[in-house]
Chain A
Amino acid sequence: MYDNLSLLAQAPVLNVQLALDGLFIGATYALAAYGMALVWGVMNIKNLAQGDFVILGGYVAVVLAGHGLHPILGLPVAVVLMFGYGWAVYRLIISRIVDRDLFTSLLATFGLAIVMAQGMNLAFGSNVRTADAGFDVLTMFGGFVTVAQVKLISFLLAAVLAAIVIVFMKRSRMGQAIRATAQDARAARVMGIDTDRVYAFTFALNSAICGAAGVLISMIWTIQPFYGITHTIRSLVIVTAAGLGNLPGVIVAGLGLGLAEQYSGFTLGAQFQQATVVGLLVLILVWRQIRQARHRQAVQ
């Protein structure tokens, strides 16, 4: 561990490598976390199957790539398919738990996560897969830093997708309806908004965003049926750290998590990468707890 730290100090250029990798992967985390915050904020459902939606989107790209379609062209296909899938899941399951207590939504989506992970395991096998995009690798700083072009492209795609979603939420009628429902579902209903449709659309949109994030992850990293839970935890970490309805916060926390994972993976060893994610979740909750305790004392 200390060797690796001193290595970082001696060769500062390695920091650039780690930082870039962290930002590129962090962008996809931010995307999935934004979807989770959306569903959480609008319909008060904590979707524990979030990561499995991401992985499913990745498998769409992998399967299409297997049939000769380039993953970047597979992206819109995955978005459309995942939108439909999200709508179906809403009609089947989520619509029945949307008004229920918090624990119901947690458990039901956990059950969904198990079904999806195992379903993917049966359908695609448990091998680690990746969608080969076939781009070159750029080298910088005299060969010390390598950046796969595909990572750069995925970063740009993530930014474009985020921009599209933001503009959609601000400008379109449906976006306005979603925000109105998030503020006060009852008032929105009185104003003639079909909140059930809004919920269905929100969940389908989340599923589509996850699908897009999954395609990007399948291009720049690996997917496997059981990686879903880690992605769910990542989204939870980001949303818990950033808070709801805080888009800049989600982006910063997403990129920050990407950085934290890369650095801990490098300095402590690859086996700590998973531990970092769950460890951060616990730390953030402890930090919330300390902040609230201080608040409570102030009230007394």
Chain B
Amino acid sequence: MKGRALQAAIYGGITAAGLAAPLAFPAYTFQFTVLWIMILFALTWDILGGQMGYNSLGNIFFFGAGMYICAVVQIGLYYDVAEYTASYGAVKVDFTMGQYFTGLALGLVAAALGSVLLAVVFGWIVFGLRGPYFAIGTLGVALAAGELVGTWNYLGGGGGISLPVFPGNPDTRAFLYYWLCFIFAVATFAFLKWLYSTRFALAINAIRDDEEKAEAMGIHTTRYKTVAWSIAAFFLGISGAVFGNMTGFIEPLEVAFPVATFGIFMVLMVLLGGKGTLWGPVIGAVLFHVIREVTWTYLLGWQWVLLGALIIINVIYFQQGIMGWAREKWPERFGLVVDRRTTISSREEAT
């Protein structure tokens, strides 16, 4: 009973803090927004990387795909996309409030569904690959997407697209995107909390532990893997659409498919927090974001070297992450019962 009250207090506290943060510190709204996106990244990466044991280096693909799908829908509803992108934002087009929100809402839906569709299609390609080939294959898909979009003139090529300008006060806009990111990150968390309590989680955990045996037990592994990837793609597509609108300008290599920055951050955040847990990615994301903001501010020029070193150290010495370490230290807190009778030390005591 006490545990439940504590849990309710934690969730309530985080929700209240999340809602109030931009009002209390308006100067940091952008950083808070990115923080929620980071949490979403880490949570979605962990579905495959932590729970299913498939380490993807290319999940960022869906982020960029969602961003571009949303942009095309938003512009395409009212203008000719090819004409719009050919002008590189030189032609100023105005959107009314109604047009803007219709475009945004439809764009978000299209981004989510489009990303799921892409996940199903690319799932066919990459899920035959195991181990390192899966990581390399997904990395290849994400890199190829960035390069190909960069040569696709309909989408503005390497020059990118300017998204519709928000027809209102810039402060309102900042708050709007903050709360959108907050809502989607919390929704992702809630959905995954529910998902990890179902049979689906058991099935993907079985795939992680031993894929051949899972298949022999009658689990349709390819279907489960594709569904798990589609879930990740669904939320990543939405996050990409929101992020694209928030920055207002998208471009293939640095914003939409940043494989070497956001793409690797999501892996690092999960490893830092502890993979295969619900809270690990969240903790990792918060910690990582704070470290990143501090180093970016105070160690300009060296921040990337430091980041690379952090990856190496994290991977070599602390791969279980914070939650993994806590679970080893206090297994009973995590509902893991150590049966004393079967441990070797207790048998030695008995003799």
Contacts and interface: CB of A to CB of B under 8 A. Distances in A.
A114 B304 contact: yes
Given A111-B309, A281-B144, A122 B302 contact: yes
Interface string B124-147: 011011011101110011011001
A284 B126 CA distance: 12
A8 B264 CA distance: 42
B134 to A, nearest CB: 9
Given A112-B308, A122-B302, A46 B147 contact: no
A7 interface: no
Using C-beta atoms within 8 Å of the partner chain, give the interface range for chain B: 35 or more
A285 interface: yes
B147 A103 contact: no
Contacts of A281: 136-137, 140, 143-144
B144 A113 contact: no
B287 interface: no
The interface residues of chain B, by DSSP majority, are classed as: helix
Interface in A157-204: none
Given A93-B316, A114-B304, A115-B305, A46 B128 contact: no
B151 A236 contact: no
B55 interface: yes
B308 A111 contact: yes
Contact of B148 (A113, A117, A119, A275): A275
Contacts of B128: 288-289, 292-293
B274 to A, nearest CB: 15
A108 B312 contact: yes
B308 A118 contact: yes
Interface in A115-140: 115-119, 121-122
Given A275-B147, A285-B125, A107 B315 contact: yes
A103 B55 contact: yes
Contacts of B316: 93, 96-97, 104, 108
A122 B135 contact: no
B307 interface: yes
Contact of B305 (A102, A122, A233, A272): A122
A86 to B, nearest CB: 16
Interface of A: 46, 93, 96-97, 102-104, 106-108, 110-119, 121-122, 229, 233, 236, 240, 268-269, 271-272, 274-275, 278-279, 281-282, 285-286, 288-289, 292-293
Interface of B: 55, 57, 125-126, 128-129, 131-133, 135-137, 140-141, 143-144, 147-148, 150-151, 158, 260, 264, 267, 271, 301-302, 304-305, 307-312, 315-316, 319
Closest 6 CB pairs of A and B: A111-B311, A114-B308, A115-B308, A275-B147, A118-B304, A111-B312
